[in-house]
Amino acid sequence: MDLNQLLAIKEKELGSRKPYTLRVCTAAGCLSAGSDKVKEQLERAVADAGLRDQVEVRCVGCLRLCCQGPLVHVDPVNELYQKVNAENAAALLERVRGGKPALEQADLQHPFFTKQLSIVLANSGVVDPERIESYIAADGYRALHDAVIEMEPREVIQAITTSGLRGRGGAGFPTGLKWSTVAKSTGPRKYVVCNADEGDPGAFMDRSVLESDPHSVLEGMAIAAYAVGAEQGFIYVRAEYPLAIRRLRLAIDQARRLGILGSGIFGSPLNFNVELRIGAGAFVCGEETALMASIEGRRGTPRPRPPFPAESGLWGCPTLINNVETFANVPAIIRNGAEWFASIGTEKSKGTKVFALAGRVKNTGLIEVPMGTTLRTIVEEMGGGAPGGARIKAVQTGGPSGGCVPAELMDVEVDYESLTRLGSIMGSGGMIVMDETTDMVDVARFFMEFCKDESCGKCIPCRAGTVQMHGLLTKILEGRATARDLAILEELCDMVKHTSLCGLGQTAPNPVLSTLRFFRHEYERRLRPERVPTGAPRPATL
Amino acid sequence: MLSRGRCLPPYWDRPLMERSGSDRAMPGNQSNAMIATLATPRRKRIQEVLTRAGSDKRFKILEAHMKKHQHRQDALIEILHKAQELFGYLDDDQLLFVAHGLKLPPSRVYGVATFYHFFRLKPKGEHTCVVCMGTACYVKGADKILAAIEQFAGVRAGETTPDGRVSILTARCIGACGIAPAVVYDGNVAPRQTPDSALATIQSWMSHGS
Ligand SMILES: Cc1cc2nc3c(=O)[nH]c(=O)nc-3n(C[C@H](O)[C@H](O)[C@H](O)COP(=O)(O)O)c2cc1C
Ligand code: SF4
Ligand code: FES
Ligand code: FES
């Protein structure tokens, strides 16, 4: 494969475009609403109407407004139809004939769409995730070509550093710095790992990226491999995402067949192969050291750092671990330049962030906004507020490691630092809206139950602490607790936070701490007065 | 992860065999010398497994899968996925067979199988119903759906009805939060469920069993 061949594939693909394109969303959300049948019906209807040379029916990834699926986008008239089903799908052909289909249309001028800025999701909903040609037609793999042919590895790392890209897996570690650490480390081999474990129970960004545009992740990984000098990559993906797994497998096969993965990529000395590793349902495996243990086929328990994976990772070799979205940003940065990327976002957080907007909000789905967009814009303008006109109470970000931002503070501009100041975290991008019907103590207990179940049990503060905190929260929720229990809970939070081995335990108290900070009254109104028993000291709680 | 205790047969924590020789576990072609080095109860046990495996096509497929991975020990999780796909769950037989094939101590195989939620150590029912209990589904009432199902079926999450018809499971986000609350019936994700819609499906399973 060389540049001419790549361009030839692009030309051929563009040349076969038809006047009309019906883009049918076949990502998981719409698929579960029956979009595969919609696609079949459309294809049949197109054939029956003899419109095959006029209309292309294309499977694409997420079209963002998942709650209204199945969605179909009609090009070139730029209209989005929602709640299409197998029965009424054929009506869409009316549009091709110049008529007006009797179908619900989504308002593409709504802030939900207009406030989005797509970098990571640029191809999502546009290219066919199951055909590499479709990705190449959208300038796919051009960045990889340019990187390996025209740039030195150190220039690639420089570009990533200048762009200001930070890890999208949660902590926001500068990606350029991580890459240069791995590049400097020495070892018999080096590895590149993509963390697609997406453990936050209420988030589906990484899944959507993998289902909608798997090649962009592969391309990002290959560029990273070139930059740090690795030859083998692993994608660790959750077993709960069968469609993402299937599309990744397909993407890897197709790239290999075209020689875009393998040896001597684009005629350069770069050899790079990617292997999939399927997780098996353990949240802690999102933590990087646990993830590596799991790739090695062991129980996914974290180990102390240092040594960091960049120095000693998989099988003791230097290993670069980045999140799906981090990798998906890379081709765009190489293609459009680091300065372009750095011009988007806030001072310390560059680029965009993909959020999975869900919970008690009207428009749920996938959004990508520039860093620095306010929570209010996201939730009220784009999300359309709570359904049924209820009052929004809080927004939860960061899942079980994060916290709740109360409605009064929703004018905060979202970036890594601002959310941390509010006692929450950016996290990987889950954003759950809560309204008056949501009980904050119940939410805190929900997350604690999650951490309790998912604690790997290696260290005691987390293993025992989460059980105790969960017990205390249940006690408060059931109205059996006193002020003393609340004090013990706060003490425990502090202890678990500071003494746990890995991020899971260290952040497990966050949902409690943040709800205590902003919604303390919800805890206090459940407490019962202290009854001091005469005689013996009080027995232990629980 | 800690709560998944189970009584273990006494040989579980002992290494299955000497870690030498070129004995890839293909039923039938075990060198007798190797088996003879095992302690008596374990030898008996492994011979039982291999005999049973010899007459079961699924073990042959599993063996082929191990071979595809060159019997690499780091492929353990992949192999267990395959075993579960073939058998529906992981029984002692399969775990021992895999341990034998990858030359791993059974404790290691058992340890991995119990660590990950995805691996089941008990057979599941004819039908499965997975209620998503992720955050997005939870704030939209997934707990009420689960409670209704549990009450109707008379078993708790993680269990199977005594007639073996329906297994009720929970998941932590199946990535369909945009259409919460979601329930997976026999592998198909159903959007926007309510206690009533969920019960209707469970009811039809329990009465027809089809
Ligand atoms: C308990 C726990 C769970 C995590 N889960 C994920 C996850 O699901 N996806 C992810 O990308 N990173 C996750 N991380 C963060 C990773 O450890 C790691 O920092 C990240 O993959 C690095 O990639 P980045 O620099 O691109 O963000 C988790 C961390 C902890 C402590
Ligand atoms: S903090 Fe929790 S999850 Fe992390 S190592 Fe300790 S017990 Fe395991
Ligand atoms: S899954 Fe179809 S729009 Fe998101
Ligand atoms: S929380 Fe249920 S699908 Fe994500």
Tell me the per-residue pLDDT of A486-539, one tens digit each, with 9 for 90 and over.
999 999 999 999 999 999 999 999 999 999 999 999 999 999 988 766 665 555
Judge: B174–A240 Cβ closer than 8 Å, yes or no: yes
pLDDT mean over A61-67: 95
A66 touches chain B (CB under 8 A): yes
pLDDT > 80? residue B18: no
**Which amino acid is it at A33?**
A
Parallel, antiparallel or unpaired: strands A55-60 and A20-25: parallel
CA distances from A319 to A179, A181, A190, B199 (A): 10, 10, 6, 48
Interacting residues of A430 by C-beta distance below 8 A, sequence separation 6+: A200, A202, A203, A205, A355, A356, A358, A396, A397, A398, A399, A402, B135, B136, B177
List, in sequence order, the alpha helices (H) in A258-347. 288-295, 324-336, 338-342
A185 touches chain B (CB under 8 A): no
Smallest CA–CA distance, residue B37 to chain A, in Å, is 27
pLDDT > 70? residue A123: yes
Q: What is the pTM of this model?
A: 0.91
Find the ligand nearest to B171 CA. 4
Find the ligand nearest to A301 CA. 2
CA distances from A534 to A15, A218, A509, A531, A538 (A): 88, 69, 34, 9, 9
Pick from A198, A199, A364: which is nearest to B178 by CB? A364
Q: What is the pLDDT of residues B122-136, one digit of tens each?
A: 888 899 999 999 998
pLDDT mean over A293-304: 96
pLDDT mean over A4-13: 96
Distance CA(B155)–CA(B95), nearest Å, equals 27
Distance CA(A116)–CA(A281), nearest Å, equals 32
Which residue of A63, A204, A235 is the best one to mutate when testing the B interface, meaning the one whose CB has the most B CBs within 10 A?
Answer: A204
pLDDT mean over A335-340: 97
- Percent pLDDT > 70 in chain A is 98
Angle ∠(A219,A320,A118) on CA atoms, nearest 5: 40
pLDDT > 60? residue B46: yes
- Which chain B residue shows the shortest CA-CA distance from A28? B176
Judge: B175–A399 Cβ closer than 8 Å, yes or no: no
> Ligand 2 test: best mutation among A500, A506, A507, A510, most atoms within 8 Å of CB?
A500
pLDDT > 60? residue B210: no
Helix (H) or strand (E) holding A237: strand A232-237
Rounded to a whole number of angstroms, the distance between the first and last alpha carbons of chain A is 66
Is this prediction's ipTM beyond 0.85? yes
pLDDT > 90? residue A304: yes
| Other beta carbons less than 10 A from residue A401's beta carbon | 25
Please write down the HEC assignment for all residues of A406-432.
EHHHCCCECCHHHHHHCCCCCCCCEEE
Distance CA(A293)–CA(A301), nearest Å, equals 7
pLDDT mean over A447-464: 96
